[in-house]
Structures are given as C-alpha cells and as structure tokens.
Amino acid sequence: MESEIALAAADGLILRFDKTPHWRVEWKESDWLGPVGVAVHAQATAAGRPLRFVSRDFGGRDDLGEYSGLDLDWSPLPFALHTSARAYASRSLIVLRIAAPDGARNLASASFVQPSVAWTFHPSRRQIGGVPPGTTSYGHQYSEFALPVSSDANCAGFFFAPHRPSVVEPLLFIAPDGRTLLLAPLDGFHEQIISVPADAQHLDDGVRCGWHGDLADVPAGFATELALWAADSPRQALAGWAELLLQRYQTQRLTRYADDLVGKLSYWTDNGAVYYYRTEPGCDYATTLERVVEDMHERDVPIRSLQIDSWFYPHQNLRPVSTEGAPIVPPSGMMRWEPRDDLFPEGFGDLRKRVGGLALAFHSRHFSSASPYFKGRSAWCDGEYAHPADASLLEDLMAQAAAWGASTYEQDWMVESFLGVRGLRQAPGRARAWQESLDRAAGEHGMHLQWCMSTPADFFQSVTLRNLASIRTSGDYRYLFDNGLNWVWFLHTNALARSLGLNPYKDVFLSHGATSLSDGEAYAEVEALLAALSAGPVGIGDQIGHSNRDLILRCCREDGVLIKPDVPIAAIDRCFHANAFLHPVPLVGECHSLHPAGYWIYVAAFNACRDKQTMKVRVDLADLGTTRPMRRVVVYDWRRRSFELVDAAAGWDVELGFQDWDYRIVCPLLSGDMTVFGDVAKYAAAGDRRVARIRIAEGALHFQVRGAPQTCVEIHGYARRRPREVRRWVPDGTKILCEDNASQVDTWSWDASGRWIVRVDVATLGWADVTLLAAV
C-alpha cells in the first residue's frame, strides 16, 4: 500500500495506517499503543502489517452515534473472520470489531490468557515520542474483587495476584497530564479478555484483546467489540465508556436504599466478623445469633438485617464450628445449599422469629462436583468443581431462599465459579445466562442480589441485570493484608463500580477493640468512615456486649437508616498514576451529595503505604474532578471540628503517619456568605437522609432536616454575619428559633467565627424545614 489511510474520531483520536507501514493509534501523540494487528492463535500478521490489504469505506449511525468505518482484510486466515473499525464523529471513540460470519470450531488455545482471536498491540514497539515520558498503565486484574494494578507504559510490570491470570480490564494508558486512552469491551464480557505480559520476560507478548483461550466454539455471526476511548482523565474515561454500556443495555439500577441490607445498618457473620465459624461459649449458632440481636437492641444499635455466611451449609471439606473460629478460607465447593445438620438439626424453622424478624441475607458459593444436586441434573464438571448447565437448580435455590425469609441472596466466589469450571467458558453466553438466571429468579421471588469475589467481567455484565443491589469491591476484611491495602483496593475498584452505577460494599468491620474472642480493630474509625461513604451496605460483625454505639451511629440514624453520599467514595484521578500501597504517595478519595445549591464534596486522604513512613499530603480543590468547586468554599475539617474559607485555586496540607487519615467536607459558600455543614456527628454530614434540598431562595437559606421520628437533630453551618431570623416549619405551623438578637438558647446559636448551630425537632413526621434569613 503506497499512501496513508486515517480513520478519525472526535478530539483527534485517529487509527492510521502510516508509511512505516503499520496501523497505529494517535491522539495528540503519534503512537499510543504501538503497531496494531490481528492474531489467530499463534498466526499473527507480521508486526501487525497485513500481508494482503483490502479496505472498504463505510459509514452510518448506530446507538453510539454517527460514524465512519473501514472493513479490514488481513492475511489468509484459517477460517472466515471479519474485522472492522468505526470512528465516531461526536465521541473520542474508535470501536474495533471481530466477527466470525460462519462460526468456528476448535478455537481453544493453550490457556485462558492466550486469546484464540485477538487484536494485538505492542506498546514496547512504539515510535519514539509515541506517548509522553512518564506515561503509565492501569487496570483491574481478572481476579476476585477486580484487583487494581499498575505498570509502566509497556504493561510489563503489573503487580499481580499470582493465583489469577495476567488479564487486565479495562486497560488504561495514562499520560502525566492525566489524558487517558482506555481499552474495554462493549459486549461479550465473559468471552473477551485483555491479556498483558505476565512479566518483563514476556514483553514481546504485547497486549492481546480478543476471545479468551478456553472459548472452544462460536456460532455463525458471533462478534465482539472493543472500545478505544480517549478522555482528559482516568475517571472521565471510565465514566464515558460506562455511560455507553448503560445506554446500550438500557440498564436499570436499584437505588442506594433498595432494601434493608443496602439501605440500613446490618450485622454480618462472614470472614472477619467475630461469629464466623464461631459461636458464643456454651451456645449453638441459633442461640448465638439470637443473643447478638438481643444485645444490639438493648444497646440501641439499630441493625435491620442479618447476614448468614457460608458456615451454615455443608462444603466438600466440612469445617468445624467452635469458639475459636476459622483462620483460613479454603475454596472447597458447596455440597448442598441447606442448613448443616450439626448446626441446625431442625432446619432454619423459626430462625427469623428468633432474630426478631430481621431481613435475612444468605451466602452461597460455587458447587462441588460431588454435590448430590448433579446426580439428576445437567452440569459441567471440572475436577472438584461443577456448575449447573441450566437455570432449574438456581430457580429452585432462589425459591428455597424466599421460603427462609431471605431478602438478599449473596453469590460469593464468582471468580471460582467461572475460572474453576471450563464448561462455563467453552461457549459464548453461558456465564451471562447464569447471572441473568439468578437475577430473574431473585426478582420473581421479591429478592435482591449481592455479588462477591467478582471479576471485572462480572462488573461489566451487571449492565444486563435489574436486581443486583450491591457488589463487594475489596479483599476480605483483616484477611492476609494490612488495612491500608484494602483501602487502596476499595477506593480504586469503587471508581469502576461508580462508573457503572453499582453500590459497593466494603465488607464487614468491627467497631470495638480487643475482646475475649477477638483482637479488635485499631482502625475502626477509618473502616466505619469508608463503609459510610461507600453508598452501599454498612455491616458490623461485633462480639456481643462490645459494640461501639457512638462510632456506629456516625454511619446511620437512630432508626438504622444509613446516611450516605449520592455516589461511592472513589480514588481521584491523580491516584491512578501510582499504587498508594506500593509507593509513597497519598490515597485520596472523593464523593458528594448534590443539593439544589450545589455539590457538598467529601474528601478523605490516607497514608496507606507499606513502607510505614510519615507522609506530607497536599490536596488541591482542582484535584476533585468534574465536581470541583469553581468559586470560594468553606472547608469543614471533620476530625478537628474546625473550618476555613478556601479559594477554588487553593487547598490544604496535612501530615499523616502510617494508616493515618484526614477527612474534610467541602461546602459551597452561598449567597449571603452562608452555607450548611450538615449533621457533623455523621460522616456524610449533608447526606440526603439527614439534610435535603439545600437551596437559596429570596435571600434566605433553606433546607430540610430528616431523622427518625421524635428525635432532635443538630445541624451546623456558617454565616459571616448573624442571620436575622431562623425558622422551623412542619405542617402544623412555623416556629421562630431566632429573631434579630433574641434566640432560644437551647435550639440556636451563632458565634463570632461565623459558626451557627440549630437543633431541630423532627417530631412525629421525621422531617422539618428550616429557613435562615440572611443579615441585611
């Protein structure tokens, strides 16, 4: 071919066939990914150059917008394969498509990580100056909880979980100025992988995006699409790509308050909780749970649901229950999903009655191939594991859960189900059918789902589900690692979950110190903070008689309703350049509550680095992404109970020791030089289940206070000058709390620093409107 061909999307994103001659991806630099090619098994085209090249221009419009495209014909291939590229006029997006018009058989390669058919990129063979110096790569390993991993620009230095494959998706290339090129699937979420070099010795493998190596057969017309999305920052790239998925699949998400597990305080018995494979001395499990609930109620700790973990059903390798608990979590498969005879000889019977009628969540896991379920049912068996080959067993188990009084079915060990049973991977659509069957059956029985130990593919596939209420986004609490590693994991995987509209769950935590059955939690305040800012469930796992009620109530109201931000806390863009556990850089996360008056932004910073050295941290308001303030704000320092006025171009400094933390609330300075901090006894002080509809109207500051009926709520804020009047309104009338220089001392105060405090009785309705009239 003698001349160059270019396919251009918005903002200068270009797929170009140049004079070298190779296909390359340009975006304000000449070569983001190195030579682009196609490979079938080991039959790659030479350095991505087609041995026989024919292109056909086409154009049109689809659900993503108006595009121009090229059909590409590569070297002779062992079966009919159609590849094409589309570039979108209104989006910085190029879509690469692979299709098998006649289908294909016996595709499987040597391993899952070796795609049978793939687009290939070789970042190590970029042209000089192809990307800016200091460019890095980032993504989520194909592992439980989608482990966040980082590397250099050549993708050869990822710090992987060694027991999981060297597959990273989505894969982001991030320039020092934040500009990001993202590679991620648009469909075929369990059929496509992005395979990267396992280590520096495998650098020549490059990046291979295509059909994983265990996919054996595909039907006629099978096709997959890969997105190349360019954006100004990592978080914007994730959000833009995820928006496409949510739009394409018309995703309908459950709310942050969909049920009692996700919307109210819960009690958990999973790994990390005190009563995981452990009972109170002299008690059986049912009695232990009964006493837990009685103790919580006596202490006014308002739990509203109870999780029953994997200890309740028999595994292939049965583990004993004792007062010592269980130190390890082996992956042995489930034999039967029913109460163990040695723990519940009469079945669950009146369990829900004994625990006060609380909503129940039941844990489940992957199946053992020795399970009696598969003596009369179709299944794929693979060594010690098996998986149902149709939906009938899953439907039966969901009906069973409903009969037990379940509100939530927790599907755990999802990675083990998929990677542990080859039959689930051998043909397209099987994993999707499994997850959609669970989703459909849960909906039919009035239940919701929680995913646990999910791979990135499970996150992506969630766009077709309607009953997934929450998803775990970090490793097990206090299991194998320092707290700090899980904080890094949590904030980064939350960025993925947040972009997809999912409600993350941090995992259980302990609110207390050392006890007779536990060594307690030294970082309980941080664990509670992260749980509250997750926008998902908040679950405690305390020993009877030891719960720290004051700490727990920083997450919720007296009636158990969680006080949340609108979106999950997630790592800010600058954190994507280096892993804050592996490198001495701060971990900073943000989330927000949106009111008519603007964004109230919650900003938490941590020293999570494994070197355990003190760290100086700078947080600039400009770092806060798309919700960053454009004008002066009031920054409330939650730990020190102080505040300061800060210009939009400024920020703050703090020094943090190992696993120390800083937490601030950025509040807009409104007309009349006033603002609301919120209920500063809570982490999400301006969350909409405590403070709602903050706005300025007719020279006055208005907001609604919400709480458990017949409680009094204290709200803090700032006013440069003393407000001339403060009113509380409920349907039975208006009450003046402050007028000119007179006020009811027990309900209102203002001092020379500008801090005001109003104490609001929400009466029997659980809400009251408050108005502050600005000084004149």
pLDDT tens for each residue of 561-599 = 999 999 999 999 999 999 999 999 999 999 999 999 999
Handedness of CA 56, 61, 63, 67 (dihedral sign): positive
Quick one: CA torsion of 35, 36, 38, 42, rounded to 10 degrees? 30
266-321 tens-digit pLDDT = 999 999 999 999 999 999 999 999 999 999 999 999 999 999 999 999 999 988 89
Q: Which of the residues in the chain have pLDDT under 50?
A: 1-2, 42, 44-52, 743
pLDDT of residue 482: 85
pLDDT of residue 3: 65
Please give the C-alpha separations between residue 466 and each of 312, 405, 410, 470, 740, in angstroms, as whole numbers. 28, 21, 15, 11, 53
pLDDT of residue 251: 98
Joined together, the tokens standing for residue 458 give 């499970």
Tokens 């833009």 -> residue:
240
pLDDT of residue 79: 84
- Amino acid identity of residue 656, one-letter, is L
Peptide linkage before 170 cis (omega within 30 of 0): yes
Contact (CB, 8 A) for 172 and 227: no
- Residues 244 and 239: their CA atoms lie apart, in Å, by 9
CB atoms within 10 A of CB 305: 24
CB atoms within 10 A of CB 553: 19
Residues whose CB falls within 8 Å of the CB of residue 177, separated by 6 or more in sequence, listed in order: 132
Backbone angles phi, psi at 655, to 5 degrees: -110, 130
pLDDT of residue 739: 63
- Residues 723 and 741: their CA atoms lie apart, in Å, by 9
Please give the C-alpha separations between residue 146 and each of 266, 415, 493, in angstroms, as whole numbers. 24, 10, 7
- Residues 392 and 475: their CA atoms lie apart, in Å, by 31
* E strands, 567-639, in order: 570-571, 587-595, 598-606, 615-620, 633-637
Please give the C-alpha separations between residue 513 and each of 31, 315, 520, 542, in angstroms, as whole numbers. 54, 32, 4, 10
pTM above 0.85, yes or no: yes
How open is the CA angle 173-572-465, to the nearest 5 degrees?
A: 80
In 215-374, alpha helices (H): 234-248, 260-263, 285-298, 351-354
Joined together, the tokens standing for residue 531 give 């749980």
User: Where is 678: in which H helix or E strand?
Assistant: strand 674-678
Q: SS3 of 98, please?
A: strand
Q: Could you tell me which of 83, 86, 84 has the C-alpha nearest to residue 61?
A: 86
157-202 tens-digit pLDDT = 999 999 999 999 999 999 999 999 999 999 999 999 999 999 999 9
Quick one: CA torsion of 242, 164, 527, 281, rounded to 10 degrees? 130
Q: Could you tell me which of 281, 341, 255, 271 has the C-alpha nearest to residue 307?
A: 271
Separation of CA 239 from chain center: 13
Residues whose CB falls within 8 Å of the CB of residue 532, separated by 6 or more in sequence, listed in order: 538, 554, 555, 556, 562, 563, 564, 682, 683, 684
> Contacts by 344-353 with C-beta closer than 8 Å and gap 24+?
344/285, 344/286, 344/312, 348/404, 351/286, 351/289, 351/404, 351/405, 352/404, 352/405
- Residues 38 and 121: their CA atoms lie apart, in Å, by 9
User: Where is 419: in which H helix or E strand?
Assistant: helix 414-420
Q: Are strands 468-472 and 504-505 parallel, antiparallel or unpaired?
A: parallel
Separation of CA 129 from chain center: 35
Tokens 């009251």 -> residue:
768
Tally of residues, the chain: 776
Q: What is the CA radius of gyration of the chain?
A: 28
What totals of helices (H) and strands (E) does the chain contain, helices first?
Answer: 11, 46
Contact (CB, 8 A) for 155 and 207: yes
pLDDT of residue 35: 96
Q: Could you tell me which of 566, 573, 574 has the C-alpha nearest to residue 591?
A: 566
Joined together, the tokens standing for residue 352 give 């829900």
pLDDT of residue 55: 63
- Residues 70 and 5: their CA atoms lie apart, in Å, by 10
How open is the CA angle 337-340-342, to the nearest 5 degrees?
A: 175
Half-sphere exposure of 37 (CA within 13 A, CB side): 25
Contact (CB, 8 A) for 487 and 604: no
Contact (CB, 8 A) for 488 and 589: no
Which DSSP string corresponds to 324-367? S--S----PPBS-SS--TTT-TT-STTHHHHTTT-EEEEEE-PE
